[in-house]
Each structure stands twice: as structure tokens, then as C-alpha cells.
Amino acid sequence: MRVIRLIGPVARAVDWIPVLVSGLLVVVLVSVLDAGSPLGSGTALTLLRMAGPLLGAAAGFTVLDEMAASTAASPVPRVLRHRIRCAAGALTAGACWAAACAIAVARLPAGGVLPVPGIAVEAAACVVAGLLAATVAARRYEGRAAALAGMGGLLAVFAVTLVLRGPYWPWLYPREPAWETVHHGWTAALAVLLVALDVAGRGPWKTR
């Protein structure tokens, strides 16, 4: 019951703009690219993969609690507020990604398929990683600087994976034998990230 009463006030305090703008950008991009013709499976896969880090970085803004210092003595634990904020950011990013995915699937040519379960796990891990990066950065930086620092760290990690061209992301394709094995690893990584996010949310935060 206490969680339900908190949803409204926390939702009003959340910085929704970055994640909503990023979500709209992802949906529009999937909708207008090659408009008037089918969207190739490879192009759709790349767009949806790139949407994960973008939405994860933007979702990090939703975890910032500007009133953490003034509400430290509140009967409502900070970790509970943090969980609500993370849920709000993750659900919003997830809804935007799902909308983009639905559009991409609808635009596929006859016989075209997308490995939706696999890329959905990738996107979920990216979003949770974005929330975790911002949460960790909030221990050191104040206000939006924490989200920006988290965003920079997250995007740097994914930039390195692009350069390394490893078999995990984003150079792995469904036709390759390692696809299933690698995505078991993605699922395990998602579970670890979720635990780490909850633990990180219990630590001290800097505020203005």
C-alpha cells in the first residue's frame, strides 16, 4: 500500500524528458527509415540494437533524486523511492523499445524474421546498465551531472564493444551458431545487473 501511495509523488518528481525524447526518436527512426518500402531484417536488427544503449542512457535520468538529502529522515526508505524510479525508467524505456520493435516487425518483407526474444534481452540489459551507471555516478556527482556521467560511461563501454568486434554484441547475428549460447549469457548478465542496481541504490547519493 505504501508503494502505491508513493507512485504519484515520485512520478511527478521524475525527469521524464530524456527518456521520452529518446523513445520518440527511436520510434520515428524505425518508422521513417526507407519509408514506403519494406525494412530489411538486418537494418531492423541494427536499429533495435542501437536503441538499447540510447534508451538505457536516457533512462538514467529517471533515477536522480534531487530531494534525497532533505528526505533522508523520511519514514519512506530511500531504496524504495529508488526502486520506484528505476521501475518507472525501465518500463518507459521498455515500452518505447517494444513500440519500435512492433513497427519494425510490421515493416519486414514477406518471409523476414527478427529474433525478438534475443534482442529484447539485449535491450533490457542495456536499459538496466544505464540505470546502474547513473546510480553509481550519483554517489560522486550532483544533479544531472550524475546522469551525464553515467551516460558517458555506458556509451564508452558500448563504443569499445563496437571497436573490438567481439562475438557478443553487436556483431553477432541470428544465423551464427553461438547466438543461443551468447544470449544465455545476456540473460545471466541481466540478472547480475538487476542485483547490482538494487545494491547500488542503497548507497549514499550526492545532491544539490
Look at residues 100, 135, 128, 137 and name the one whose alpha carbon lies nearest to residue 188. 128
Q: Which three cell numbers stand for residue 149?
A: 556521467
Q: Which three cell numbers stand for residue 30?
A: 524505425
Q: Indicate whether 59 pLDDT > 50.
A: yes
Q: What's the Cα-to-Cα distance from 126 to each of 34, 56, 84, 141, rounded to whole Å?
A: 26, 5, 18, 22
CA 188 to chain centre: 16
Question: Domain extents for the chain?
Answer: 2-200
Q: Indicate whether 44 pLDDT > 90.
A: yes
pLDDT band for 130, please (50, 70, 90 cuts).
very high
Question: Each residue of 123-159: b (16+ CB within 10 Å) or e?
Answer: bbbbbbbbbbbbbbbbeebeebebbbbbbebbbeebe
Contact 125, 169 (CB under 8 A): no
The pTM of the full predicted model, rounded to 2 decimals, is 0.87
pLDDT band for 49, please (50, 70, 90 cuts).
very high
CB 208: neighbour CB atoms within 10 A? 10
Calculate the CA dihedral of residues 52, 202, 136, 1 and round it to 10 degrees: 30
